[in-house]
Amino acid sequence: MSPSLRDLQLTSATGKGSQASEADAGEEERLLSSYDEENSGNLRRIQVSVTGMTCAACSTSVESALMSLNGVVKASVALLQNKADVTFDPALVKDQEIKNAIEDAGFDAEVLPEPSVSHSKPRGTLVGQFTIGGMTCAACVNSVEGILKKLPGVEKAVVALATSLGEIEYDPTVISKDDIINAIEDAGFEASFVQSNEQDKVVLAVTGVASEVDVQMLEGILCILKGVRRFYFDRTSKELEIHFDPELLGSRTLIDEIESSSYGKLKLLVKNPYTRMASKDLEESSKMFRLFTASLFLSVPVLFMRIICPHIPLLYSLLLWRCGPFQMGDWLKWGLVTVVQFVIGKRFYVAAGRALRNGSTNMDVLVALGTSASYFYSVCALLYGAITGFWSPTYFETSAMLITFVLFGKYLESLAKGKTSDAIKKLVELTPATAILLMKDKGGKVVREREIDSLLIQPGDILKVLPGAKVPADGLVVWGSSYVNESMVTGESAPVLKEVNSSVIGGTINLHGSLHIQANKVGSNTVLSQIISLVETAQMSKAPIQKFADFIASIFVPVVVTLALLTLLVWYFVGVLGGYPKEWLPEKGNYFVFSLMFAISVVVIACPCALGLATPTAVMVATGVGANNGVLIKGGDALEMAQKIKYVIFDKTGTLTQGKATVTTAKVFSGMDRGEFLTLIASAEASSEHPLAKAIVEYARHFHFFDEPSSTKDAQNHGQQSKSFGWLLDVSDFSALPGQGVQCFIGGKKMLVGNRKLMTENQITIPNHVETFVVELEESAKTGILVAYDNELIGVLGVADPLKREAAVVIEGLMKMGVNPVMVTGDNRRTAWAVAKEVGITDVRAEVMPAGKADVVRSFQKGGNVVAMVGDGINDSPALAAADVGMAIGAGTDIAIEAADYVLMRSSLEDVITAIDLSRKTFSRIRLNYVFAMAYNVIAIPVAAGIFFPWLKIKLPPWVAGACMALSSVSVVCSSLLLRRYRKPRLTTILEITVE
Active-site residue set:
651
109 — alpha (psi -120 to 50), left (phi > 0) or beta?
A: beta
**What are the distances in angstroms from CA 538 to CA 160, 327, 501, 857?**
10, 59, 34, 24
**Helix 546-576 crosses helix 591-605 at what angle (to 10 degrees)?**
170
Strand pairing report for 645-651 and 866-871: parallel
The rounded distance, in Å, linking the Cα atoms of 868 and 642 is 8
Q: What DSSP element (H or E) covers 558?
A: helix 546-576
Beta carbons within 10 angstroms of residue 268's beta carbon:
23
Q: Is the dihedral of CA 713, 719, 720, 724 positive or negative?
A: positive
N- to C-terminal Cα separation, the chain? 35
Listed in sequence order, the residues at least 6 apart from 150 whose beta carbon sits closer than 8 Å to its beta carbon are none
Could you tell me where the DSSP H helices lie in 733-786? 756-761, 768-779
Reduce the secondary structure of 235-255 to three states and give it as a string: CCCCEEEEEECCCCCCHHHHH
Kindly tell me the burial class for residue 414, based on how many C-beta atoms sit within 10 Å of its own C-beta (0-12, 13-18, 19 or more).
buried
**What are the distances in angstroms from CA 312 to CA 304, 307, 321, 322?**
11, 10, 14, 18
The rounded distance, in Å, linking the Cα atoms of 778 and 757 is 15
Beta partners for residue 657, in sequence order:
803
If you ran DSSP here, which 8-state letter would residue 866 be given? E
Helix (H, G, I), strand (E, B) or coil at 628: helix
The rounded distance, in Å, linking the Cα atoms of 653 and 871 is 9
* AA identity, residue 130: F
Residues 194 and 424: beta-carbon distance below 8 Å = no
Residues 369 and 561: beta-carbon distance below 8 Å = yes
The rounded distance, in Å, linking the Cα atoms of 726 and 374 is 93
The size of the chain, in residues, is: 996
- C-alpha closest to that of 693 among 797, 843, 555: 797
Residues 62 and 53: beta-carbon distance below 8 Å = yes
